[in-house]
Structure 1
Amino acid sequence: MSDTIDFGIDLGTTNSAMAVFADGEVTVVKNNDGWDYTPSAVWMNRAGAVWVGRRARERVFSAKDWPNVHLEFKQEMGLAGTAREFPAARVGLTPPELSARVLRSLRGDAEHQFGTAPAAAVITVPAAFRLHQNEATSAAAALAGFGSCPLVQEPTAAAFAYGFQNAGEDAYWMVFDFGGGTFDAAVVSTYEGELRVLDHAGDPHLGGKLIDWAIVDQVLAPAAAREFRLDGFTRDNRAWLGNFAKLKHVAEEAKIALSRTETATLDVELELADGSEHNFEFTLGRDQVDRIAEPYYVNAINLCRGALAKANLDTEDIDRLLLVGGATLAPGLRARLADPELGLGIELDHSQDPTTVVARGAAVFASTVALERAPAVPVAGQFTLAAEYPRTTGLTEVAVAGRFLAPSTMDWTGYEVVLDNPAGQPPFRTPNLALDGNGGFLTEVVLGEQTTSTFTVSLISPAGHRETVVPGEISIRHWLNEPGGTVLTNSLGLGQADGTFHAMLVKGARLPAVAHETFQTSVALRRTDADALIRIPIVEGERGRADRNMRVGMIEIRPRDVRLDLPMGTDVEITFEVDENRRVGVIAEVPLVDEQFEAQIDLSSVHAPEVAELERAQAEVEARLAELRADADRAGSAAARTRLTELEQGRQLELAKGEVRAAHTSAGSAAAADQKLREIQAVLDEVATDVRLPALLAELTTAISALRELVRQLGDAEDRAELAEIERRAETARGEGDPAAVEELLSRLGDLEILLLRRDGTLDVQVFHYFRQNEHQLTSRSRARELIREGEQAIARNDISALPGVNQRLRALMPATMPDPRGGVQSRNGLGGKR
């Protein structure tokens, strides 16, 4: 019996599949229909009986049954309040519960084929899935009866499948995974026997289903409305949901047929307002569908280019493009991908079945993951071996650590162990190894290349007898292109007081991972102010602004939680920890009061936005886009114009508006609309920075000129060297037109200015004068007057060294609404506060 998981599942939006690794081969587990995949569809009748797969999906054509059929629920994984209703049975199931039904069906297929239901499986998720979506997937696995189910990203799994079939090849690959509901791209390296994902990009709301719906919305629905004179025949009209479910199904079938033919005719019965049914027939052309699909193809290709740029690679560096997902069967997409101008120009590899390759790769990875079992309990007459060793490896020599357990306490003096593989290539046997006082040992074994090496474990008593050991052997498989383990799918970090996102664990970090950094509070927390609050948002995403990402948790520090007042600038040590199953823990420690605060991470309360909220966000995006377009023209910013052109060519706003309309009837579309509008805003943030570039450059010139004089008066050799370096980099930034580089240089100039002013006490005097001028704003007038007098006396006797202490005590009296007098002195790692 294998001691690894071995089963892999691709839990897809449209279809799901399962594969198993056994005897060095990967095979797909077929379902009861003899298919390699199972449609991700669930149907429940009035009696509460459930069908999954083909029979469920076909019920969309039944006027009686279609309201009790649910598909594409993967798009709503992790969203609270999104139960799908089955009116006939008067039952509602959440997306994880629906996904569990699909997983349970796949598990049943494996039980039918192998006689025993698998205890666990590796389940794939989109690379762009966020924490709440991953957690919902794990919940679905548990509901389906699986034990521990590691999650692996879909493009990573696909790369494992290709790597298993192409062992020994040192190369760079890119995975292009265009699935039913999601898109993922991954840059993969196969080097020195290890397969690693260098970077990935994706969109959990970009997939083939969007092309299907676009065919319906742009072509089929308008044609049907004209033919049958239907009023309000749109997808957001709940009166026509049954007809749109049918049109979506036949649109998908026609799209698939167009992978092989130039035209496809669809035929469907539509129900009119009076309840009568009429036949609707329409012929689609391949070119017509390619035009409809173009913006989705463009977005996918742009994501690929972004992943390549982050990996510091170009298309010429990639040896092959691995095609994954049913949408990649479309000739139009393949032609575009092969084109170096319109696409990527990378050699296409479609040697694997794109519909099952993810499940196959998940099974390959599953063969490297130990199956969790309860430790064996030794019984009289035998010993139990607890051993640690890699189940698979790219090395030919590996360590094996073990410990023998006996039914009762015993003396291990004189006991020895031997690991023997006489059939190995080459044969291998360890010397007789003496056990330590706890019955333990550590040794190295030699493996045969690209084969499974099985070692018999012999425990020899002091009298020379061979004892009974369970298990009596261990097996280690050597292969090339060994999977490199799981990685973090999105960056995790903090939202800072200035609204920026500070990533502590970056996307692609190997799991488990830990990060530790020290931040400073941006406000004071006084125990007498019951309403004071320091809030530290825990954020997931890749955007520079915290509010463009997703908040997944919060640390709150209140006056009642601390035994001393916390002045502004108090150190807070933040620790992030993510385990191999992507469980996240965040702790904030305040050394001043020796207290720890744990983040409240609630992934069960993520809701899809309301339609009205999305419509407001859409209007804001449209207004800002128009304003920035005009600003870019006035400023003559080529960089801003380029970003706006790319935004328009990808039809990002058009696609977002389509999702907003669909949000009336779909929580998944609401989540997609929210994400797309945030992404557009993030691009507009960059456009705004580009537009500001001329003003930033002028500010940089003025700041450098002013600092030259200050360095001449107060600086030393090190200060002059720093200024020279800033000036050198300023010339480069001007030539490249890089706003981010200019802002960084302005920050460095500010730091140098503060250093110089502090050196002769000027800064402390300026800060003191600020407090004196704003004495009326401080919370304790009597204490403020006392400190102001103390500072004035220090200045009178020319004791400038006393001012920092006075200023620090005055700062503790600042209300939360009072601006910080230090300006640039405030740490860039500033944590937020709120009243």
Structure 2
Amino acid sequence: MSDTIDFGIDLGTTNSAIARLVDGQVTVFKSIDQWDYTPSAVWINERRVVRVGTAARIEAMRDVDNVHMEFKLEMGLEGAVRRFPAAGVELTPSQLSAEVLKSLRADVTERLGAPPEAAVITVPAAFRLHQNNATSEAAALAGFRACPLLQEPTAAAFAYGFQHQTTEAYWMVFDFGGGTFDAAIVSTYEGELRVLDHAGDPHMGGKLIDWAIVERVLAPAAARELGLADFTRGNRRWATNFMKLKQAAEQAKIALSRQDEVDVSVDLQLADRREKQFDHVLRRDVVEALAEPFYARAVNLCRDALAKANLGAADIDRLLLVGGTTLAPSLRARLADPELGLGIALDHSQDPTTVVARGAAVFAGTLAMERPTPVPLAGEFSVELTYPRTTSLTEVPVGGRFGSPSSTVDWTGYRVELVAQRATSMFRSPKMPLDAQGAFVAEVSLAELGATTFTVLLTGPHGRVERVTPADFTIDRWVNEPGGEVLTNGLGLAQADGVLAQMLAKGTRLPAKAREAFRTTVPLRRTDADAVISIPIVEGERQRANRNQQVAVIEIRPRDVRLDLPEGTKVDILFEVDESRLVTVVADVPVVDEQFEAIIDLNAVRAPSVAALRDVLAEVERRAEELRASAERSLSERALARFARLDEERLLAQAASEVSAASGDPGSAASADDKLRTIQAVLDDIESDVRLPRVLADMSEAVEVCRELVDRVGTPDDLVELADLERRAGQARAEEDADAAERVVNRALDLELVLLRRDGSLDVTVFHYFRANEHQMSSPHQARTLIDRGERALMTGDASTLAEVNQRLRALLPATAADPATGGVRRERGFGGRG
């Protein structure tokens, strides 16, 4: 019995596969249909008979209402269910995925006689916490005892690299699957395979190309030819027809990778329920044009990952192709082109449809299978061993602790020795004494690649070799071993001003923790029952917090504290993520010695309603149009370049298509929501680019005013602050960062107010502001009288009278007008809430 997990599963949007690592070799288990993969499809009939895989896909052409596919894209969405009318049941995406996993387990059982207890299951690198959680639920429903999760591009890299002889290289994984896209940069250095950075889109895969073929070519042609009214994907009346067209499009796309055109023939239902054959000739160039925006986005995401890792295409030794979409000749040609694509040498030495499962099995071979502590029988001893199952090192430590049926064993009289018969030599450790608890630590040598089995020899006080369970253990030495897991999406919290405060960055090695102090921005009075301090926890990296996915919230209410909390109360936030990606977030309020844990309900993530999506789409389209005009007027090259990328990737058109299809399809709703957030984040950057010249000019002016005041009335501390302002201003200008420039302006205003007060000229400046805004005052006559009095005070140098005039003018200022004596206060990190 192996002491490692060994089984790996690629739970895919379109197809799934299971593989096993044995003696350094990976084997893929064939399905009942003798394929290396199983279609991720489920059919349930009126007798509640369940069929999975190829049989289910075949049924889809005649019984579309009772067959479901591509449910992976809805994993973790509250309320997302697929109905089987014939059986009168409905299943969640996790339950449907569990049926696929059960089928894979059955394939193993057929071959080995027993089902696997555990397996490593892969997920897209861009999957969110709730999607990972739903995948773990599916594994439990399928009967697995343990199922660690592994990112798909990481798994692919392991499949390529665990026995690869190159010890120092950079690879990029290009994983274009049926429903998701991931790009990951992997390094092999000093025997470790490590993911440096990744970029991806959890809602972009080959299925979108299929739908583009349907919606822009096949469906319009069918509507014209057969006279089908309101023939749209979102109309449930035509669901069967669109499922048939979708499958036909997928098959035609695959065929077009080998020929220039293909005949599409589908029996479609007419308005009177009769069926009529629809025929269409689909050409390769048409499909390639439809696929172009998706290919462009995939290439751009690869370039993003390279830029974040401070690498260029020339630094990457090979591009590892993963996923069925990478079989398309036009995509391969584009990727090889240094101008249109990446210009990196393509590696398709492994089957792109099973490479992820193979890599998952490789990783599974490094993970210990949790087993009960051995109970020694009379006359023998047990041993609990701690050692690496795989390594790239030549010498590794091994620890152990012996047990005995007797509780009175004097372990100090025992010695342990580890022995291995290798292909070219014998290894024998020194005979080591055990400590009083029966424990030891030894170092073993692994001179050769492959598996080395060590025998545990325990010698008693009288020199007799005792019986030990287990009697041996095995360590595999590979050229490159999988590195530790990393955080694939950043984690942070939303501040009161809407800005993300990132606590753990994407790519952080796991396990990880971070702690940081914040300040509340509202008071919390125990007499106000409705008051609350809210701390939203978000997943993502976008600067505007609401462009990311909210996964939890910490709420502090009056009933939770024994004292009133004034505005500015210190709150320490602790984030912790373990190796299985279990997230814990705690807020510690020292003044009341209370801790509050985030309520992370990963089963409560819901896709927005269709109406809400339509509203957001309309807002995004309006905002994009206005910003495009502003970018063209300002001639901002960066803003125009961002618009060019949006146009190249056709993100707005894709979002509109997903919103249209969202009726009754939570997967499309989730995809639309994700795309709209992405577009909004791009528009945020464009908005920043457009305002950059004005903000830079304001920054230069503000710093120059501070420089003049410091020269006149500054202290040594003011000189230090000015130097820091000038440094930050230079950095903001060099990086063309409008937000950083605005922060410099705010700090400069703070310093300016301090210096004006010291100079005695603050009241003069404030009076000039009030005089210039006399027309805004609530009582023009009273304001005119006060201004006349202030002008006389200016002429006579009467500072106290001028201060009094300002105070009375301030009372006449509308609430919406800025107060020159308080503007420019630096924002601290803090939380919002209702006080």
For the residues of structure 1 that align with 2:740 and 2:565, how far apart are their CA atoms? 34
Residue by residue, what CA displacement relative to the aligned partner does 1:385-408 show, whole Å, maximum 9, x if unpaired? 111111111111111111112223
Superposed, 1:636-647 pairs within 5 Å as 636-647=635-646
SS at match of 1:468: strand
Once the two structures are TM-superposed, the CA of residue 428 in structure 1 deviates from its matched residue by 1.9
Query: How many Å separate the matches in 1 of 2:148 and 2:411?
Result: 37
Cα deviation for residue 754 of structure 1 reads 7.9
Q: Which residue of 2 aligns with 1:25?
A: 25
Structure 1 letter corresponding to 2:349: S
Question: Residue 411 of structure 2: SS of its match in structure 1?
Answer: coil
Tell whether 2:381 aligns with 1:383: yes
Match of residue 698 from structure 1 = 697
CA contact (8 A) 1:122 1:363 kept: yes
Q: Which of 217, 220, 226 pairs up with 1:219?
A: 217
The amino acid that maps onto 2:685 is E
AA in 1 matched with 2:585? V
Task: Quote how far apart the aligned CAs of 1:169 are.
Answer: 3.7
Which deviates the most, 394-403 or 596-605?
394-403
Aligned match of 1:266: 264
Q: Write the deviation string for residues 415-470 of structure 1: whole angstroms up to 9, x where unpaired.
A: 11111113365532211111111111112111123221211111111111111111
| Equivalence for 2:537 | 538
Change in 2 beyond 3 A, CA 1:270/1:426: same
CA, structure 1 residues 821+725, in 2 after alignment: closer, same or farther (shift >3 Å)?
closer
Counterpart of 1:488, as a letter, is L
User: 1:585 matched to which residue of 2?
Assistant: 584
Q: Residues 68 and 87 of structure 1 are in contact (CA less than 8 Å); yes or no, is this contact kept in structure 2?
A: yes
- The CA distance in 2 between the partners of 1:753 and 1:53, in whole Å, is 71
Kindly provide the CA deviation profile for residues 781-833 of structure 1, in whole angstroms up to 9, marking residues without a partner as x.
xxxxxxxxxxxxxxxxxxxxxxxxxxxxxxxxxxxxx9999766555321222
Work out the CA distance in 2 between the residues paired with 1:192 and 1:692: 47
Distance 1:730 1:74 in 2: 47
Equivalent residues in 2 for 1:587-606, closer than 5 Å: 587-606=586-605
Q: Is the 1:254–1:264 Cα contact (8 Å) retained in structure 2?
A: yes
Q: Which one-letter code corresponds to 2:216 in the other structure?
A: Q
Shift of 1:173: 0.8
TM-score w.r.t. the length of structure 2 is 0.90
Query: For 1:348 and 1:430, how far apart are their aligned partners in 2?
Result: 46
Write the distance in 2 (CA, Å) between the matches of 1:499 and 1:224. 48
Q: Which amino acid aligns with 2:502?
A: A
CA distance in 1: counterparts of 2:761 and 2:147, whole angstroms: 62
Match runs of 1:241-280 below 5 Å = 241-280=239-278
Query: In the aligned structure 2, how far is the partner of 1:658 from the partner of 1:821?
Result: 51
Task: Measure the CA separation in 2 of the matches of 1:310 and 1:597.
Answer: 35
1:613 matched to 2:612: yes
Contact 1:424 1:448 in 2 (8 A): no
Q: Distance in 2 between matches of 1:678 and 1:529?
A: 36
Q: Is 2:575 aligned against 1:576?
A: yes
- 1:562 aligns to 2:552 (yes or no): no
Tell me how far 1:740 sits from its aligned partner.
Answer: 3.9
SS in 2 for 1:441: strand
Rounded Cα–Cα distance in structure 2 between residues aligned with 1:734 and 1:25: 55
Whether 1:74 and 2:72 are equivalent positions in the alignment is yes
Q: Distance in 2 between matches of 1:667 and 1:3?
A: 41
**Cα-to-partner distance string for 1:761-784 (whole Å, 9 max, x where unaligned):** 999xx99xxxxxxxxxxxxxxxxx
User: What is the identity, as a one-letter code, of the residue corresponding to 2:231?
Assistant: F
Provide the rounded CA distance (Å) in 2 between the counterparts of 1:454 and 1:719: 69
- Secondary structure of 2:652's counterpart equals helix
Cα deviation digits, residues 658-698 of structure 1 (max 9, x gap) = 00011013110000001101111111111111111122112
Q: Matches of 1:34 and 1:406 in 2, distance apart?
A: 49
How big is each residue's C-alpha offset from its partner over 1:714-768, in whole Å with a ceiling of 9 and x where there is no partner? 54556435534543553564455332442353355457668879999999xx99x
* Residue aligning to 1:148: 146
Paired residue for 1:6?
6
* Distance change in 2, residues 1:432/1:330 (3 Å): same
Name 2:685's counterpart in structure 1.
686
Alpha-carbon distance in structure 1 between the residues aligned to 2:820 and 2:429:
69
Give, as a single letter, the amino acid of the residue that structure 1 aligns with 2:283. Answer: G
Deviations 1:589-609 (A, max 9, x none): 111111110100111111111
Distance 1:651 1:581 in 2: 36
Tell which deviates more after alignment, 378-387 or 173-182.
378-387
Q: Which residue in the other structure is 1:406 paired with?
A: 404
Partner Cα separation in structure 1 for residue 697 and residue 222 of structure 2: 59
Is 1:527 the counterpart of 2:514? The answer is: no
What is the deviation of 1:50?
0.1
Partners of 1:520 and 1:827 within 8 A in 2: no
> 1:780 corresponds to which residue?
none
TM-score, normalised relative to structure 1? 0.90
Give the aligned CA root-mean-square deviation in angstroms.
2.3
Q: Provide the residue aligned with 1:789 in structure 2.
A: none
Do the aligned residues in 2 keep the contact of 1:387 with 1:402 (CA within 8 Å)? yes
Q: How does 1:222-371 map to 2 (within 5 A)?
A: 222-371=220-369
Pair 1:439-2:432 in alignment: no
Q: Does 1:61 align with 2:61?
A: yes
Looking at structure 1, the residues matched to 175 and 199 of structure 2 have their Cα atoms a distance apart, in angstroms, of 11
> Is the 1:424–1:447 Cα contact (8 Å) retained in structure 2?
no
- By how many angstroms is 1:286 displaced? 1.2
SS in 2 for 1:692: helix
Q: Which residue of 2 aligns with 1:118?
A: 116
CA–CA distance in 2 between the matches of 1:751 and 1:16? Answer: 60
Unaligned runs of 5+ in 1: 768-817
Q: CA separation of 1:731/1:438 partners in 2, compared to 1, >3 Å: closer, same or farther?
A: closer
Secondary structure of the structure 1 residue equivalent to 2:419 = strand
CA contact (8 A) 2:161 2:480 kept: yes
Q: Distance in 1 between matches of 2:191 and 2:822?
A: 54
Evaluate the alpha carbon distance shift between residue 608 and residue 213 of structure 1 in structure 2; reply closer, same or farther with a 3 A threshold: same
Paired with 2:693 and 2:460, the residues of 1 have a C-alpha distance of 83
> How many Å separate the matches in 1 of 2:109 and 2:331?
38
Deviations, residues 514-550 of structure 1 (Å, cap 9, x unaligned): 1111111112222222222111001001110110001
Matched residues in 1 for 2:735 and 2:826: separation? 29
Query: 1:633 matched to which residue of 2?
Result: 632
Question: Distance between the aligned counterparts of 2:478 and 2:556, measured in 1?
Answer: 51
| 2-structure distance, mates of 1:365, 1:751 | 55
- Is the contact between residue 705 and residue 752 of structure 2 (CA under 8 Å) also seen in structure 1? no
Is 1:36 aligned to residue 32 of structure 2?
Answer: no
The 1:151–1:162 alpha-carbon spacing in structure 2 relative to 1, beyond 3 Å, is same
Residues 195 and 482 in structure 1, CA contact (< 8 A), matched pair in contact too:
yes
Give the Cα separation in 1 of the matches to 2:754 and 2:21.
63
Flag the 1:826–1:450 CA change in 2: closer, same or farther, 3 A: same
How big is each residue's C-alpha offset from its partner over 1:243-265, in whole Å with a ceiling of 9 and x where there is no partner?
Answer: 11111111101111111112222
Note the C-alpha offset of 1:146. Answer: 0.3
Unaligned runs of 5+ in 2: 767-817
| CA 1:221–1:194: 2 relative to 1, 3 Å | same
Q: Does 1:664 align with 2:663?
A: yes
Opposite residue 541 of structure 1, the aligned amino acid is G
Pick closer, same or farther for the CA change 1:275–1:599 going to 2, 3 Å. Answer: same
Find the partner of 1:191 among 175, 189, 192: 189
**Does the Cα contact within 8 Å between 2:397 and 2:441 map onto a contact in 1?**
yes
Alpha carbons 1:449, 1:479 under 8 Å: kept? no
Question: Measured at CA, do residues 483 and 752 of structure 1 come closer, stay the same or move farther in structure 2, by a change above 3 Å?
Answer: farther
**Cα distance in 1, alignment partners of residues 125 and 413 from structure 2:** 53
1:589 alignment partner, SS class: strand
Equivalenced residue count is 781
Distance, in Å, in 2 between the alignment partners of 1:749 and 1:442 is 61
